[in-house]
Amino acid sequence: MPLRVQIVTAEREVFSEEAVDMVVAPGAEGVVGILPRHAPLLTTLQPGVVRIKHGGTEEAMSVGGGFLQVARDQVLILADTAERADEVDEARAEEARRRATQTLAEAVTSGQRLQAEAARVALRREEARIQVARRRRGPEHSRPGPP
């Protein structure tokens, strides 16, 4: 029995599929893999990449955090933000990563812990967006960019 998967944000439904073989998501305690007949689960998500495997293919989406719930072969992801690979503007994500890196360095230097943590989260979110965009283009474009 396959999984039914939905990924939604406050604004829209980003993904909905009835016949998914596996979901891999960035859970609070590390990467979590969900297969059919998984035990019920509720966990928070970290910013990162959600991979959805179905029919021998894999689709990747970036999420900016949120919650993941598993119940009766249904996976519901309530994401703060979520984007499919074809929705990511890689140039904008690169610029946002650069700004987050600069903000993080300034916050660490000045001892602003809260701002530093917010910058770390923003940095993880932008790196996930870049990873998803590069995965769409293929392996020859998947080399990481400058830090």
Convert the pLDDT of each residue in 97-147 to its tens digit. 999 999 999 999 999 999 999 998 888 989 999 989 888 766 544 444 444
pLDDT, position 47: 93
Query: In the structure encoding, which two tokens stand for residue 65, read together?
Result: 């955090």
pLDDT, position 143: 44
pLDDT, position 136: 72
Per the prediction, the chain carries an average pLDDT of: 89
Count CB neighbours of 121 within 10 A. 16
Q: For residues 33-44, give the mean pLDDT.
A: 95
Task: Return d(Cα 133, Cα 130) in angstroms, integer.
Answer: 5
Distances (CA, A) of 76 to 26, 47, 53, 58: 14, 16, 15, 18
Distances (CA, A) of 44 to 12, 107, 143: 19, 26, 29
Work out the percent of the chain whose per-residue pLDDT is above 90: 68
Helical packing angle, 90-109 and 113-137, nearest 10°: 160
Q: For residues 24-48, give the mean pLDDT.
A: 94
Convert the pLDDT of each residue in 60-73 to its tens digit. 999 999 999 999 89
pLDDT, position 139: 52
pLDDT, position 135: 81
